[in-house]
Amino acid sequence: MNYLIGAFKSPCHISINFVDGRTRKQVQLKKENGQTAMVPLFRSQESIVGEVVLEPIQGKKVEHTGVKIELLGQIELYLDRGNFYDFTSLVRELDVPGDIYGKKNYPFEFSTVEMPYETYNGVNVRLRYILKVTISRSYVSNIVECQDFVVRNFTPPPSINNSIKMEVGIEDCLHIEFEYNKSKYHLKDVIIGKIYFLLVRIKIKNMELEIRRRESTGSGANTYVETETLAKFELMDGAPVRGESIPVRLFLSPYELTPTYRNTNNKFSVKYYLNLVLVDEEDRRYFKQQEIIIYRPESS
């Protein structure tokens, strides 16, 4: 039995080390198996520098036809699981064909890498960046090791950030005006606003404000949309009267938000909405939805 286990064990251990691995910020990344791991954080235009270490199992010789490291940016649609769309692909050859008898170290560097999209794990799609080391072999399977890292890109505050003003009405029954202080928010921002009741002829039981994330993948007839409610915030409990004003103050920092992504590599989009929900005493629900833009500030 031990012989069988050994037969399938890789004859060479591969480790990928970042040159600034001890000092670079680490962030959590959710893996395919649902577990999380701490991985290095980068941003676009940074250089990725490190070392690959190969260690054959004691007493083993590894014959190979070349060793290489790739930096890959990939998008995987879960409806097409296993097929990765590479939007970034860089290669460095580390070794020419030969034999490895003992531990070998290979420095590598990818200079000022263009990484335009952020790492994203969604309902139907994921975008990831990996370093992939391949020891190519002729008559047996290649030996491969991958190392994830995360990319986050920052956006300066918008020069124009208009407030949102909208009216909601049911003819001769309900007329509401609501106002939010701006239309673009950073990830740790606070949504501040007011809701005015101009006409109330139905019995409102309560009112909530929801944050919704809408992820769309594919295109045309093959577009798939998933909507998640990330937060529910009760604004009012009880019947309002005409002329009443309800304040809104919703902190975004407790919620796991990402920036708004628009048509990332023509594969997917992620948008955010504020959804105002009113419920009457007969449990009928009235909605009004408004898109907001989320961005990542330099300090996050």
Q: Confidence class of residue 211 from pLDDT cuts 50, 70 and 90?
A: very high
pTM above 0.85, yes or no: yes
Q: Confidence class of residue 239 from pLDDT cuts 50, 70 and 90?
A: low
Is the pLDDT at 164 greater than 60? The verdict is yes
Bigger pLDDT: 59 vs 184: 184
Task: Give the residue-averaged pLDDT of 38-66.
Answer: 92
Bigger pLDDT: 156 vs 282: 156
Task: Give the residue-averaged pLDDT of 105-123.
Answer: 95
pLDDT at 8: 60
Q: Confidence class of residue 205 from pLDDT cuts 50, 70 and 90?
A: confident
Is the pLDDT at 2 greater than 50? The verdict is no
* Most confident by average pLDDT, 119-128, 194-203, 238-247: 119-128
Task: Give the residue-averaged pLDDT of 277-289.
Answer: 80
pLDDT at 214: 96
Question: Picking from 115-119, 165-169, 210-214, 289-293, which range would have the lowest pLDDT averaged per residue?
Answer: 165-169
Q: Considering the chain, what is the average pLDDT of its residues?
A: 88
Is the pLDDT at 15 greater than 90? The verdict is yes
Task: Give the residue-averaged pLDDT of 195-214.
Answer: 83
Phi first, then psi, for residue 101 (nearest 5°) are: -105, -30
Whether residue 11 contacts residue 62, with contact meaning beta carbons closer than 8 Å, is answered with yes
Is the pLDDT at 111 greater than 90? The verdict is yes
β-strand partners of 143: 135
β-strand partners of 50: 18, 108
Q: Confidence class of residue 299 from pLDDT cuts 50, 70 and 90?
A: low
pLDDT at 59: 73
Q: Which amino acid is at 255?
A: Y
pLDDT at 1: 42
Is the pLDDT at 153 greater than 50? The verdict is yes
Whether residue 147 contacts residue 134, with contact meaning beta carbons closer than 8 Å, is answered with no
* Percent of all residues in the chain with a pLDDT value above 90, rounded to a whole number: 57
Is the pLDDT at 279 greater than 70? The verdict is yes
Whether residue 50 contacts residue 65, with contact meaning beta carbons closer than 8 Å, is answered with no
β-strand partners of 30: 36
Task: Give the residue-averaged pLDDT of 182-191.
Answer: 94
